[in-house]
Structure 1
Amino acid sequence: MAQVFNFNEYQMKRSSEKKLHDDRLVVAVYRSVVFYVHMYIDEDYENPSEHLTTDTDLRRLYKGDRGKFMETMEALRKHWDLIAEEDDFTHRKEFEHLSTIGHLCSYIEKKVKAL
């Protein structure tokens, strides 16, 4: 006899597995961004994860230093095996496009999902 499968149940299970995977990606991206941002900024403090939230302003954090920000971006690209795209920051307006750590996380997450 043939088995009858409930397609809706299968689809719901599959979507819940996908959501679980996406949540893990979000956390992994956030942790990598905080790690590399902390590595390239000048400020020293004991526990960076308490101070670097998704609302932290990148221009203030880097004190407007584009070079250090671009070093962080290069480290994140290497970490996630992303291809550098010249059109991302052509007009030196990276702090306008990626104003907070949350924006940077969203940018990296979008690039990783596009792989």
Structure 2
Amino acid sequence: MFEDLGVNNAEEHLAKADLVSKIASVIETRGLTQVEAARLIGLPQPKVSLLVRGIFRDFSTERLCRILNRLGVTVSMVLIEEPDWRPGMTTVSEQEQDSDDLFYGDTEQSGPAFSL
């Protein structure tokens, strides 16, 4: 979608848009005001306002992941090496499951494998 609009780094922009959409969804689902959300995630309320309105250019992917973590959302990254060495993709998908059931590599761990 963003590629069609000529946006630089369209794939990354789409991934960030998905993260921001989840942030807004969690804030709404939990019935948080922007002031409450700001306090919880450690941002000024005007920055939260920008995020929920879809303005996120100044936010890195890592920062958006930390915001999700502070909102109680576990962010899990899966790295897949393409067998024919073609360029890889960056995607964000949502999965409903307990964080204790996440599987990391060859061993199960309770909690996140790492924190951003």
Larger Rg: 1
- The TM-score normalised by the length of structure 1 is 0.31
Q: Give 1 or 2: higher helix fraction.
A: 1
TM-score (norm 2): 0.31
